[in-house]
Amino acid sequence: MKTQVTTVCDLEKELPPDAPDAPKWLVKALQVPREEGFIESQGCDVHYFRWGNPENPPLILMHGFLAHARCMAFIAPFLAENYHVVAYDLTGMGDSGVRDAYPDSVRAQEVVDVAQKTGLFEHAQKPIVIAHSYGGHVGLTAMNEHHSLFGGLIICDLMVLRLERLKAHFAGGRPLRSDPNRPNRVYPDYAAAKARFVLSPNQPCGEPYLFDYMAFHSLKEVEGGWTWKFDTSVFDSDFSVRDRILHQAEAVVAAPGRKAYIYGQESLLFDDDSADYVREMGGTDMPFIGVPGARHHLMLDEPIAFVSTLRSVLALWSASEESEASR
């Protein structure tokens, strides 16, 4: 690994300066000791966080498109009570390095490299992948290409809609991708930049403070002002976004290994009807668990309920493994 530092968060640097007092549960979670560092994957630096005891079963957490690992930084400490947990910034996003291109095979290898270089493969149990939104697509690719290395995949609100609902969702010219050749805009100050921050899909935030937290860590100070951390190169990839979304249900069903699906019951991208649709396509071998009151960004809407749901799935899988081992 390139660098690593184990520390308790400096809350003055971690929390947004323009927001009201953080809720106590969040402060407590961020004060759980964590390691922060970089590993190298295929010539690119990958920024990660790590929590918990390496002697515990391993988990690897992945964020969605244009997001960053800190969307899991207040979730991971609750899981780290019983697990060895790593969350990382996908390359081209957050504080990770930038590539010329991001084919699926490169994304999948990142998952392997992060797990290997943070010690997750050293445990007797294989790492379980927990992945939100676009991270779920990366997780599916990793399971397809490196299935033998992982113990399961928990998909969190990856977009799946019936064809007619997809057409309605994208009616009116909703963009699927942006111009990779157009650089991110530089805003004169933090306030001006933050004013442009929105969730995608746009939604209110159940825990308003977490909106400020995500905005703060989505921006960086540069010459002339503030701009987004993600690089526009991530819009240039080797897959068709529209084709991928059209066949997402089939991809979920076809992926090998143990799977579970957690979603916000008020999500615009995956809901109760989506769960029925995946079952109809053959996905009867996995649980579908809706979090009441949560939308697509369920960790921002109902973080404690989300944690509880993750803990429940993990506990059931662990109990199943123990039962099989005792036979």
**CA-closest candidate to residue 291, choices 281, 303, 280:** 303
For residue 179, what pLDDT is reported?
67
H or E element in which residue 96 lies: none
- Residue 313 DSSP label: H
For residue 320, what pLDDT is reported?
84
Per residue in 140-189, pLDDT (tens digit) is 999 999 999 999 999 999 999 999 998 888 786 555 556 667 889 999 99
- Residue 55 DSSP label: T
Phi/psi at 134 (5° precision): -55, -30
- At the second CATH level, the architecture of 3-14+29-179+234-326 is 3-Layer(aba) Sandwich (3.40)
What's the pLDDT band for 253 if we cut at 50, 70, 90?
very high
Q: What percent of the chain has pLDDT over 90?
A: 81
- What is the residue whose two structure tokens read 């969730």? 199
Per residue in 183-226, pLDDT (tens digit) is 899 999 999 999 999 999 999 999 999 999 999 999 999 999 99
Question: What would the 3-class secondary structure string for 259-287 be?
Answer: EEEEEECCCCCCCHHHHHHHHHCCCCCCC
Beta partners for residue 4, in sequence order: 37
3-class state of residue 41 by DSSP: strand
How far apart, in whole angstroms, are the C-alpha atoms of residue 298 and residue 137? 17
How far apart, in whole angstroms, are the C-alpha atoms of residue 219 and residue 185? 11
CB 23 within 8 A of CB 207: yes
Per residue in 83-131, pLDDT (tens digit) is 999 999 999 999 999 999 999 999 999 999 999 999 999 999 999 999 9
Tokens matching residue 189 = 């100050």
Render the burial of 209-229: b for 16+ CB within 10 Å, e for the rest: bbbbbbbbbbbeeeeeebbbb
Per residue in 38-67, pLDDT (tens digit) is 999 999 999 999 999 999 999 999 999 999
For residue 178, what pLDDT is reported?
64
Domain boundaries, the chain: 3-14+29-179+234-326
Phi/psi at 44 (5° precision): -130, 140
Neighbours of 46 (CB within 10 A): 26
For range 251-261, the mean pLDDT = 97
pTM metric for this prediction: 0.94
How far apart, in whole angstroms, are the C-alpha atoms of residue 174 and residue 165? 14
Question: What would the 3-class secondary structure string for 138-169 be?
Answer: HHHHHHHHHHHHCCEEEEECCCCCCHHHHHHH
How far apart, in whole angstroms, are the C-alpha atoms of residue 271 and residue 259? 17
For residue 182, what pLDDT is reported?
81
CB 139 within 8 A of CB 111: yes
- What is the residue whose two structure tokens read 């529209």? 242
How far apart, in whole angstroms, are the C-alpha atoms of residue 40 and residue 118? 11
Check whether 242 has a pLDDT greater than 80.
no
H or E element in which residue 191 lies: helix 190-194
For residue 254, what pLDDT is reported?
96
For residue 195, what pLDDT is reported?
96
For residue 79, the one-letter residue type is L
Provide the pairing of β-strand 44-51 with 34-41: antiparallel
Least confident of 23-27, 236-240, 321-325: 236-240
